[in-house]
Amino acid sequence: MFHFLKGLFNKRSSVYKEEDPMKKFLIVGLGNIGDEYAETRHNIGFKILDELAKAQEFTFETAKLGDIGTFKIKGRTVICLKPSTYMNRSGKALKYWMDKENIPQSNLLVITDDINLPFGTIRIKTKGSDGGHNGLKDIQQHLQTHGYNRFRFGVGANFGKGRQVDYVLGQWNEEERDLISERLSRSAEVVSAFVLSGIARTMNQYNNT
């Protein structure tokens, strides 16, 4: 009887396996912590995750190296990270949570601002250079590859020579504020599409929209 029960327990216990890593996703929105940065162009990653939190009805909690929010969608677990390391050290927080949650690199999506795209333009890519973006540069150093998924949100380049830092750390102008709500909603859709449909379909559906 003991051996029978032991065998039955082993069979049943084999059902309770750890969650399939391929069904876990890490979405990292880049930005700087602090109220003074909240409405700046450089913080679009944080704003998109906040919009996603409203759409999916989850909240962020302070955790190691960042604020973390989690939701489930059609059997998939989505972990959203707003690093608290400041932009230039984004890679440290990203790598920590990738390793902690056993997230495959294919299920990573990094959301960032891009001055090379017109305001509000969406561009999803599977690889690329850091383009002079310090957050992406640090991520590339920690991952030791430039081949990771990134969601670039255009903030335009309406600045003079030597004024790039002031521009990206500046707040949205009146015209941008009038349009940002719709763009944020669209961006939240992009993240959900990435989780549900994969990077290729998401690129085909949303790039340059």
pLDDT per position as a tens digit, 161-178: 889 999 999 999 999 999
Report pLDDT for 17: 46
> Residue 86 gets which letter from DSSP?
-
- CA pair distance 202, 194, nearest whole angstrom: 6
Range 171-190 average pLDDT: 96
Of 9-18, 124-133, 139-148, which gets the smallest average pLDDT?
9-18
Of 38-42, 93-97, 118-122, 160-164, which gets the smallest average pLDDT?
160-164
88 is in an annotated binding site: yes
Report pLDDT for 47: 97
Range 47-52 average pLDDT: 98
173 is in an annotated binding site: no
Range 47-58 average pLDDT: 97
* Burial of 70 per CB tally in 10 Å (0-12, 13-18, 19+): middle
37 is in an annotated binding site: yes
The dihedral region occupied by 21, where left means phi > 0, alpha psi between -120 and 50, and beta the remainder, is alpha
Which pTM does this prediction carry?
0.88
pLDDT confidence tier of residue 12, bands split at 50, 70 and 90:
very low
pLDDT confidence tier of residue 16, bands split at 50, 70 and 90:
very low
**Distance of CA 49 to CAs 22, 41, 80, 207, Å?**
21, 14, 7, 19
* Tally of CA atoms within 13 A in the half-sphere of 115 that contains its CB: 20
pLDDT confidence tier of residue 19, bands split at 50, 70 and 90:
low
Alpha helix stretches (DSSP H) within 57-173: 90-101, 134-143, 164-168
Question: Which domains does the chain carry?
Answer: 20-206 (3.40.50.1470)
pLDDT confidence tier of residue 46, bands split at 50, 70 and 90:
very high
Q: Is the pLDDT of residue 184 over 70?
A: yes
> Residue 28 gets which letter from DSSP?
E
134 is in an annotated binding site: yes
The dihedral region occupied by 66, where left means phi > 0, alpha psi between -120 and 50, and beta the remainder, is left
Report pLDDT for 133: 87
Report pLDDT for 18: 57
State percent of the chain over pLDDT 90. Answer: 82
Report the chain's mean pLDDT, rounded to a whole number: 90
Range 128-137 average pLDDT: 85
pLDDT confidence tier of residue 76, bands split at 50, 70 and 90:
very high
Question: Which single residue is written with the structure tokens 């400041």?
Answer: 86
3-state class percentages of the chain: helix first, strand second, coil last, to nearest 5: 45, 20, 30
Q: Which active-site residues does the annotation give? A: 42
